[in-house]
């Protein structure tokens, strides 16, 4: 045993309400409900301890053999706890390891009845280890011809079960009608009824025909979600076929896989569309889990170009603070490119004006049922969505614009300005 000084690491070693975080630390904000009989101070300290280098018991260590990496619970305001983590605690460029600290054991420990990771303030010492987006919002003008209007996307419905031909045909109708992007649904990957390689080839051929006819650049968000090695092969196949984008279900794939896809997409110049299926397992409860704000931050560091962030309450899915999340995604973060937010889920032409009022025009507006459920079919549905965006961009109310745009008029007659559940 060396002659280092033996020190006890007691729980209050992790609590210092007078501590001011240095600019090089990762500062996390948690909402916590302490366990019965536990003070906020004790619970806050246990959170800082368990998520950095401590545990439930006091420890005796030889200081000569220990790099001090303890986090500090440095703020308590009601149920909000702020914890500052030293950068040296984290492996540079590893999102899995960072999350194993700040969203690991602490989410399940008995010292708190509930805990939610609400927000992170990422220092450059950490963001510099991540690539961030390759394109971000520039896809609207670098890869597509959306100009200043929102990028329009659709996903064929039914979400799975369509044959490869039907999928490509629906895509062609939607592209011809005026959308920029066709997107696979989150659970369409490589199934017998619509194999990945066939769907990729046929849909891109349809894309090329639609580009020819409309004179506008179109593209396809093909879902490459799979085991990581397979996913990388699918990314290569997209590049070989002349695609410009891939789609990844980032939560179900995992962030390590997203980092691998981001690296491969850099080689090919492919943009990444992040679907967030399963996020509600983390962010739906307002008192426990991980907020969508943090999920979006993680996605930006890992390098997605667009991510679904909700419809500001206008769609079919429970949403949280979409405007705040979008604002962070497009704000400066140590030089990381911004991310293009995607509004989707229950959207149709009748709510596009409210959506743009709420979220602005630097978004992707995605509609599935809101296009393919149009009484006159997909082509008319896509035209109606495009017309609703044109009206909003021109500052004309939808009803007036619909007077000489039949497809929009039919959509408004069917859905009005109501938002579905
Ligand atoms: O298929 C759709 C929308 O289809 P539709 O337009 O028919 O509702 C998307 O998977 C949801 O938008 C996901 O939700 P979110 O975008 O909130 O992640
Ligand atoms: Mg879907």
**Residue 360 pLDDT level (bands cut at 50, 70, 90):** very high
Ion ligand 2: residues, CB within 5 A, are 185-186
Q: Which of the 8 DSSP states describes residue 150?
A: P
The pLDDT of 258-287, averaged and rounded, is 97
136-415: CATH class: alpha beta
Per-residue pLDDT, 59: 75
Q: How far is residue 378 from each of residues 101, 178, 218, 344, 369, measured CA to CA in Å? A: 47, 10, 16, 17, 9
When the candidates are 3.50.50.60, 3.40.1160.10, 3.30.1520.10, 3.30.70.150, the CATH number that belongs to 6-127 is: 3.30.70.150
- Please check the confidence at residue 7 and state whether its pLDDT lies above 70: no
Query: Residue 217 annotated as binding?
Result: no
**116 bridge partner residues:** 31, 289
Per-residue pLDDT, 2: 38
Contact indicator for 102, 117 with CB cutoff of 8 Å: yes
The pLDDT of 16-27, averaged and rounded, is 94
Q: Which of 275, 288, 306, 374 is catalytic?
A: 275
Strand order in the sheet with 26-34: 72-77, 80-85, 26-34, 112-121, 289-290
Q: Which of 143, 157, 288, 374 is catalytic?
A: 157
- Please check the confidence at residue 205 and state whether its pLDDT lies above 90: yes
Helix axis angle for 378-394 and 164-177, nearest 10°, is 30
In sequence order, the 6+-apart residues with CB closer than 8 A to the CB of 320 are 283, 286, 291, 292, 293, 310
- What average pLDDT is seen over the chain? 94
Where in the chain are all domains bearing CATH 3.20.20.110? 136-415
Quick: pLDDT tens for 316-346.
776 668 889 999 999 999 999 999 999 999 9
Taking the CA of 187 as reference, the closest ligand is 2
Q: Give the separation between CA 340 and CA 134, rounded to whole angstroms.
A: 11
Of 371 and 64, the structure prediction assigns the larger pLDDT to 371
Per-residue pLDDT, 202: 98
Q: What is the 3-state secondary structure (H, E, C) of 201-230?
A: HHHHHHHHHHHHHHCCCCEEEEECCCCHHH
Q: Give the Cβ contact number of residue 4 at 10 Å.
A: 12
Query: Residue 276 annotated as binding?
Result: yes
Q: Give the separation between CA 82 and CA 17, rounded to whole angstroms.
A: 9
Q: Which of the 8 DSSP states describes residue 194?
A: B
Where in the chain are all domains bearing CATH 3.30.70.150? 6-127
Per-residue pLDDT, 315: 74
- Please check the confidence at residue 407 and state whether its pLDDT lies above 80: yes
Query: Residue 183 annotated as binding?
Result: yes
Per-residue pLDDT, 57: 76
Per-residue pLDDT, 4: 39
Q: Which of the 8 DSSP states describes residue 273?
A: E
Coil vs helix vs strand at 122: coil
- Please check the confidence at residue 144 and state whether its pLDDT lies above 70: yes
Of 322 and 288, the structure prediction assigns the larger pLDDT to 288
Instruction: Look up the ipTM and state it.
Output: 0.95
Quick: pLDDT tens for 53-66.
987 777 788 888 88
Per-residue pLDDT, 185: 97
Residue 372 appears among annotated catalytic residues: no
Pocket lining for ligand 1, CB < 6 angstroms: 155, 157, 185-186, 276, 308, 310, 316-317, 344-347, 367-370
Per-residue pLDDT, 320: 66
The pLDDT of 337-365, averaged and rounded, is 97
């Amino acid at each position: 045993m060396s002659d280092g000084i033996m020190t006890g690491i007691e729980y209050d070693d992790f609590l210092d309400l007078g501590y001011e975080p240095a600019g090089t630390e990762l500062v996390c904000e948690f909402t916590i409900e302490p366990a019965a009989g536990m003070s906020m101070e004790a619970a806050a300290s246990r959170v800082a301890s368990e998520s950095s280098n401590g545990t439930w018991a006091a420890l005796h260590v030889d200081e000569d053999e220990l790099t001090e990496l303890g986090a500090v619970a440095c703020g308590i305001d009601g149920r909000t706890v702020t914890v500052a983590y030293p950068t040296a605690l984290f492996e540079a460029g590893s999102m899995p390891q960072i999350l194993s600290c700040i969203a690991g054991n602490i989410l399940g420990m008995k010292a708190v009845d509930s805990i939610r990771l609400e927000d992170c303030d990422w220092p450059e010492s950490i963001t510099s280890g991540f690539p961030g987006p390759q394109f971000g919002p520039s896809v609207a003008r670098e890869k597509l011809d959306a100009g200043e209007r929102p990028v329009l996307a659709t996903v064929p419905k039914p979400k799975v079960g369509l044959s490869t031909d039907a999928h490509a045909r629906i895509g062609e109708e939607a592209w011809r009608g005026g959308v920029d992007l066709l997107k696979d649904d989150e659970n369409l990957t490589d199934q017998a009824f619509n194999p990945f390689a066939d769907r990729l080839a046929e849909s891109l051929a349809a894309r090329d025909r639609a580009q020819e006819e409309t004179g506008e650049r179109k593209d396809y968000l093909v879902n490459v979600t799979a085991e990581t090695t397979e996913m990388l092969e699918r990314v290569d196949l997209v590049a070989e076929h002349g695609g410009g984008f891939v789609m990844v279900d980032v939560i179900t794939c995992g962030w390590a896989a997203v980092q691998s896809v981001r690296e491969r997409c850099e080689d090919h110049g492919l943009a990444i569309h992040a679907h967030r299926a399963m996020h509600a397992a983390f962010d739906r409860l307002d008192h426990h889990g991980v907020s969508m704000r943090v999920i979006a931050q993680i996605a930006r560091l890992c390098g997605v170009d667009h991510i679904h962030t909700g419809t500001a309450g206008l769609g079919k899915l429970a949403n949280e603070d979409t405007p705040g999340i979008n604002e962070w995604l497009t704000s400066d973060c140590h030089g990381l490119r911004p991310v293009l937010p995607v509004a989707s889920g229950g959207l149709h032409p009748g709510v596009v004006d409210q959506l743009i009022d709420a979220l602005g025009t630097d978004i992707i507006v995605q509609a599935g049922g809101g296009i393919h459920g149009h009484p006159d079919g997909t082509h008319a549905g896509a035209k109606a969505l495009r017309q609703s965006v044109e009206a909003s961009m021109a500052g004309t109310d939808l009803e007036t614009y619909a007077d000489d745009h039949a497809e929009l008029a039919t959509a408004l007659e069917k859905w009005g300005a109501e938002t579905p559940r």
